[in-house]
A and B are shown apart, each in its own frame.
Chain A
Amino acid sequence: MTLPVILLLSASLAAAVPAGDPQRGTAVYERCQACHALDRNRTGPKHCGLIGRPAGTVPEFRGYSDALKTSGIVWDRASLDRFLADPLGTVPGTRMGYAGVKDPQERADLIAFLAAAGPCKE
């Protein structure tokens, strides 16, 4: 695959993800709060510092599936968009037993919220 084609594909992928609003994403994130929080591990891992982190690598979280740990995913807007749309379809065997956020705009808002959360406080 040539570089221009790759760039074109990247551009079209980026264009497929609508712009997100972190304020609206706050409301979408309430759906995640049976298992997740930004600043503490729960049934699911904490979400601070998510962007740029390889999947399955929050050091003190012990509940990852092998499927997620070996997925090779690094969380960015595109990978989050795919995963959040269909967690079990994207990473079969993940312990996140959730059908997904099906609305692209809601996913974009949620991802914007997660990105805005920034790094974890030490």
Chain B
Amino acid sequence: MPDPIILLPRRSFFAAAGKTALSAGAVLLLAGCGSRQAALAADPAADVNILNSALGAEQEAVAAYQVGAESGLLTKPALDLAVQFQGHHKEHADVLAKTVRDLGGQPAEPLARYDFPTDQLKSEADVLRFAAGLEKGAVSAYLGAVPLFQERELARAAASILGDEAMHWAVLRQALGENPVPGAFVS
């Protein structure tokens, strides 16, 4: 299936739509679910607040996976997963930052220093468990954010990210030898 990012008429869409429409459209574009209904954002300031909360968590996840990748504790298959998942979080962060900017807000900056519990990471399992905890937290955070968006299409895009992070969590649990999908619902 062709990539919708390439096929969407970005220039004409941007030219025809206002700033708010562009921002919502950008998220949809990158989430692969573009729609001109994105032009209907109701309260950009409220959405910027929520997007920046998510952006901060994504930036931390990128940094955390970097720590894991550089720890020397991950064997090749797990290392590949960590790098792949980090790439997803980078993509999420890029989309969120762009959307905040397009909504007229200031994207949250990554922290100069993250205080990770590196003294507790002594094995591959420790690193995977640490990552799984972050992913589970991220799933909960997006679940708590989705109903708050004023712009419903932003909620849909956030739900798309939620799905990706739930997959990360399940794969990490599988790698740890745990039930990858421990329940019918997430919370």
Cβ < 8 Å to A, chain B residues 16-53: 49-53
A43 touches B137 (CB 8 A): no
Q: Point out the residues of chain A lying under 8 angstroms from B56, CB to CB.
A: 35, 43, 63
Q: Point out the residues of chain A lying under 8 angstroms from B54, CB to CB.
A: 97
B137 touches A30 (CB 8 A): yes
A98 touches B115 (CB 8 A): no
Produce 1/0 per residue, A85-119, CB < 8 A to B: 00010000101111110000000000000000000
Interface set of A (CB-CB < 8 Å, partner B) = 30-35, 37, 40-43, 63, 88, 93, 95-100
Q: Point out the residues of chain B lying under 8 angstroms from A97, CB to CB.
A: 49-54, 144-145, 148
Q: How far is the CA of A116 from the CA of B155 in the complex (A)?
A: 35
Q: How far is the CA of A31 from the CA of B57 in the complex (A)?
A: 13
Residue in A33, A40, A41, A100 whose beta carbon sits within 8 Å of that of B137 in the complex: A33
Q: How far is the CA of A98 from the CA of B146 in the complex (A)?
A: 8
Q: Point out the residues of chain B lying under 8 angstroms from A37, CB to CB.
A: 117
Q: How far is the CA of A97 from the CA of B51 in the complex (A)?
A: 8
Residue in B60, B114, B146, B148 whose beta carbon sits within 8 Å of that of A88 in the complex: B148
